[in-house]
Amino acid sequence: MWNGIRKYISLIPLIAAISGALIVSYIIYFPQIPRQFIGDVGDISNQTVRAPHYIEFQTSADIAKTNDLIASRRQLIKPIYVINTDVQKGISDEIISLFTTIQELKQSDTPLTVDFLSENQLAILNQYSQPALIQLEADVQKTLTHLLQSGIKDINRFNVTQKIQQLWPAYSPQSMDILESIVLTYLRPNLVVDDLQTQAIIDQQMAAIKPFFSTFKSGQVIIAKGETITSNHISALQELKLYKNQNKTFHFAGILIITTLLFISFERFIYIFYRKIHKNPSVYLLTYTLLFLNILLALLIYSLPAIKYADTLHFLIPVPVMVILLSLLLTPNIAMLSGTICAILIAMMYQNTFSIFLFLFFATTITTFSCYKVYKRSDLVFSGNIIGIFNSLVIICIGFLSDITQIVWYLYNVIIGFSSGFICAMISFAFLPYFESIFRITTPLGLLETANLNHPLLKRLLLNAPGTYQHSLMVANLSEAAAEAIGADVVLCRICAYFHDIGKMKRPIFFYENQFSNENPHDNLSPRMSKIVIAAHTKDGVEMAMKYKLPRIIQDIIMQHHGTSLVSFFYDAAKQNRDGESLKEDFRYPGPKPQTKEAGIIMLADTTEAAIRSIDKPTLTKIENLIDKVFTGKIMDNQLNESGLSLNNIQKIKSTFFKIFKSIYHSRLDYDIEIAKIIDQTKGKHNDA
């Protein structure tokens, strides 16, 4: 029976995840649920319908007005004419042929016959000499060239005659009559319509025409209760899919599938990159709670009516609050992924609007980068200002992309975007302690509250175990420097180092650094009993930390800072009477081994500082050799296997420790070497004598 109950309990996270995906999907789908409006043109509306979001569409009246405008504009466009040079060339050839025929007839004494010339004109032309005919031909060609050079669309005989007479004022009436008859007979229009240029002008003019549209802002009344339904009302309702529409089952299914895939992606991300916290329910509960609250707030903002110059208030959606809290409570990477997922879901809620996703995505990234390291309130205020500035820049870019030209729109929304960043930072700071308490997660800001050296536990440590207190301060300096060198949590290392040995207060005299006389209580105890007393300080420290309500992470590092290391001094003493191999496991700390980089750093700092303190007449060579020995021992004993520290990290920590000790002991001499040098010099002088 118990196994069956445990089986059902193990399914609770899966059931919760599926339920969460369904609830979130429904919230996203809720604004898109079709509201049925029943009625026909001419009926009286029995309800008031508002636009759920901004729409822009064309009614039949808009289409008719646009078509009328296009037709009237098209009529105003004149065709483009160009001169056809082939026309003049053809006329010139015909004139040459005419005069060639006249010349041939005159040479053969054949009577002249030209259809368009009268008998009187032919008689006069017959009297022309050959040079006179050549001159007449040239004058005809010149006249036609003059008339055609500026282009002729229609032939006005009166105007043509006037131009000929102005061109040849010295001509006799008879010759002028013949010239005019020939020119008027052969003259043809040479201006033709250029279809390509004309169509290009038409296309350009048509493209400049903006179609008529009807618009409704979010929350604007489409049709009021008691109003007569018109075709425009029906068009608007159809555009919004509110008129005689069926539920979109497939639409909801698509939202549900995408939401589920996003949840799975988040779970896989945690499993692959943060496996140590993968099975911690509070991680998922915290993330989903913040996600759920953001989506609810986005739905509330979506349902608010529009204000002037702002179609929606989506720039107030507080996704940065979620990102700030997750950055501080979990990790920046988890925060950025969660914020991006939230941005995708909210953009889907807002009718798949890309500009909303763009704004929320940039808000997520900038928030993550600006809150990567927040150790005090002023850092959070500064982050809020940075978020606000970048929000404003993104809003301006969205306005550019949307072709918005109203300056007031930019002013209103930039103010909203900047205020959103600042307000989100303040809200995060206000709610952070509650989330820390509810989910039992410690942040750097929470740790700083315990960093005061006037903390009751540290004051007790100073009074009851002053040697341990000084040792803890030195371990804190070493740990902080090492954490900074490898990119670990600096604040966590320093604060945990302060408290890592508080368990020694229970029996301070049993620890070397607190023994200020020649008496050693271990002289009266067996090695096994001494080991029990020494190893108990980790458990005693955790009990004190729990009593004073220190954060869980500090309690864990207190328990882990010795790992399962061997209490070697008492083990060596015990080996004189027993088999060392059978005793070895009995002389180890209870563990567990360090589970984080910070715990591993404190283990190395604690062991190194204690070892250096025990050196008689320390020199740099001795210090360096001892540090190598300590690090090698921990590695060979597999104490750092679960800490996440790489060999490169360990090498950097070792170098950092040596630099610190070098700065402390650099001026000290190796007195044994110096005395040996003096003795050698003295012997040398005696030998010379």
The CA-based angle 200-205-210, given to 5 degrees, is 140
The string of pLDDT tens digits covering residues 86-126 is: 888 988 888 888 888 888 877 777 777 777 888 888 788 77
Which long-range CB contacts under 8 A does 666-669 form with residues at least 24 apart?
Answer: 666/620, 668/617, 668/618, 668/619, 669/619
Structure tokens at 37: 């409006």
CB neighbour burial string for 33-63, b if at least 16 within 10 angstroms, e if fewer: eeeebebeeeeebeeebbbbbbbeebbeebe
Chain center to CA of 92 = 74
List beta partners, residue 56: 215
My answer on whether 286 and 170 are in the same domain is no
- Cβ neighbours, 10 Å, residue 24: 24
Residue 57 lies in a domain: no
Question: Residue 217: is its pLDDT beyond 80?
Answer: no
My answer on whether 588 and 648 are in the same domain is yes
Q: What is the reported pLDDT for 135?
A: 87
Structure tokens at 486: 């490898």
Ranges assigned E (strand) in 119-249? 191-193, 214-216, 221-223
Q: What is the mean pLDDT of residues 467-493?
A: 93
Residue 684 lies in a domain: no
Distances (CA, A) of 145 to 62, 181, 190: 53, 16, 11
The verdict on pTM exceeding 0.95 is no
Residue 1 lies in a domain: no
Q: What is the reported pLDDT for 122?
A: 78
My answer on whether 420 and 465 are in the same domain is no
Percent of the chain at pLDDT exceeding 70: 88
My answer on whether 551 and 663 are in the same domain is yes
The CA-based angle 629-562-493, given to 5 degrees, is 95
Residue 547 lies in a domain: yes
The string of pLDDT tens digits covering residues 326-369 is: 998 888 999 999 999 999 999 988 878 888 999 999 999 999 99
The range of the structural domain enclosing residue 402 comes to 249-446
Q: What is the reported pLDDT for 1?
A: 47
- Comparing 196-210, 319-333, 577-591, the range with the smallest average pLDDT is 577-591
Alpha-carbon dihedral sign for residues 636, 639, 645, 650: negative
Report which of residues 671 and 278 the model is more confident about: 278
Q: What is the mean pLDDT of residues 360-380?
A: 85
Q: What is the reported pLDDT for 669?
A: 47
Any idea which residue has 């996703």 for tokens?
357
The string of pLDDT tens digits covering residues 444-460 is: 777 777 767 788 899 99
Ramachandran quadrant class, 551 (left: phi over 0; alpha: psi -120 to 50; beta: rest): beta
Give the C-alpha separation, 313 to 416, whole Å.
8
The string of pLDDT tens digits covering residues 39-73 is: 677 778 777 776 666 677 777 778 888 888 888 88
Q: What is the reported pLDDT for 241?
A: 65
Q: What is the mean pLDDT of residues 261-280?
A: 87
Residue 629 lies in a domain: yes
- Cβ neighbours, 10 Å, residue 139: 18
My answer on whether 578 and 530 are in the same domain is yes
**Is residue 42 classed as helix, strand or coil in its secondary structure?**
coil
- The pLDDT-based confidence of 32 (bands split at 50, 70, 90) is low
- The pLDDT-based confidence of 638 (bands split at 50, 70, 90) is very high
Q: What is the mean pLDDT of residues 16-34?
A: 77
Report which of residues 195 and 418 the model is more confident about: 418
Last residue of a domain, one of 384, 417, 446: 446
Residue 103 lies in a domain: yes
Count Cα atoms within 13 angstroms, Cβ side, for 628.
6
Q: What is the reported pLDDT for 537?
A: 93
Chain center to CA of 564 = 45
My answer on whether 363 and 439 are in the same domain is yes
**Is residue 18 classed as helix, strand or coil in its secondary structure?**
helix
Q: What is the reported pLDDT for 369?
A: 92
Could you tell me which residues come within 8 angstroms of residue 586 by beta carbon, excluding any fewer than 6 positions away?
Answer: 528, 531
Last residue of a domain, one of 393, 420, 446: 446
Total number of domains in the chain: 3
Last residue of a domain, one of 193, 216, 234: 193
Maximal CA-CA distance, the chain: 164
CATH number at residue 581: 1.10.3210
Alpha-carbon dihedral sign for residues 274, 277, 282, 285: positive
User: What are the φ/ψ torsions at residue 193 (nearest 5 degrees)?
Assistant: -75, 130
My answer on whether 435 and 459 are in the same domain is no
My answer on whether 161 and 118 are in the same domain is yes
My answer on whether 379 and 299 are in the same domain is yes
CATH number at residue 256: 1.10.1760
Residue 508 lies in a domain: yes
My answer on whether 374 and 491 are in the same domain is no
Question: Residue 602: is its pLDDT beyond 60?
Answer: yes
Q: What is the mean pLDDT of residues 177-190?
A: 85
My answer on whether 275 and 368 are in the same domain is yes
My answer on whether 500 and 358 are in the same domain is no
Question: Residue 589: is its pLDDT beyond 70?
Answer: yes
Question: Residue 671: is its pLDDT beyond 60?
Answer: no
Outline where 561-596 has alpha helix (H).
568-575, 580-583
Structure tokens at 379: 């850092």
Strand 49-50 with 221-223, pairing = antiparallel
Q: What is the reported pLDDT for 647?
A: 92
Residue 373 lies in a domain: yes
